Amino acid sequence: MKFSVVMTVYNRPQLMLMNTLVKLGCNDWTDGEIVIVDDGSNIPYQPIIESFGNLPVRWIQCNTFKDHPHVYQIDDGYNNPAHAANMGLEEAKGEHIFWMSSDVMVPPNIIDRAFDLDLTKVAYMPCVVDLDTNQTYLGPDRLAPLGWFYGVHRSHMDAVKWDLEYLKGIAFEDNDFMCRLGLQVGRFVIDKSQVAWHQSHPQTAYSDDLKGWKTNQEYTMQKHDGVPFHTGCPLKKSLTDVNHQLILDMEYEAKRIIV
pLDDT of residue 6 exceeding 80, the answer is yes
* H or E element at residue 231: none
Query: What's the mean pLDDT in 182-192?
Result: 80
- 78-88 per-position pLDDT tens digit: 456 788 888 89
* 181 contacts: CB under 8 Å, gap ≥ 6: 123, 150, 152, 156, 157, 160
Domain architecture of the chain: domains with CATH: 3-253 (3.90.550.10)
Tell me what pLDDT residue 170 has.
Answer: 58
Determine which of 39-48, 142-151, 187-196 has the lowest per-residue pLDDT on average.
142-151
Query: Does the pLDDT at position 65 exceed 80?
Result: no
Find, among 246, 259, 149, 254, the residue nearest to 198 by Cα: 149
Report the pLDDT averaged over residues 169-193: 76
Closest CA to 123 of 94, 102, 104, 97: 97
Q: Which residue has the higher pLDDT, 253 or 92?
A: 92
Q: Which of 73, 85, 3 lies closest to 38, judged by CA?
A: 85
Q: What number is the average pLDDT over the span 71-98?
A: 75
Q: How much is the average pLDDT of 28-43?
A: 89
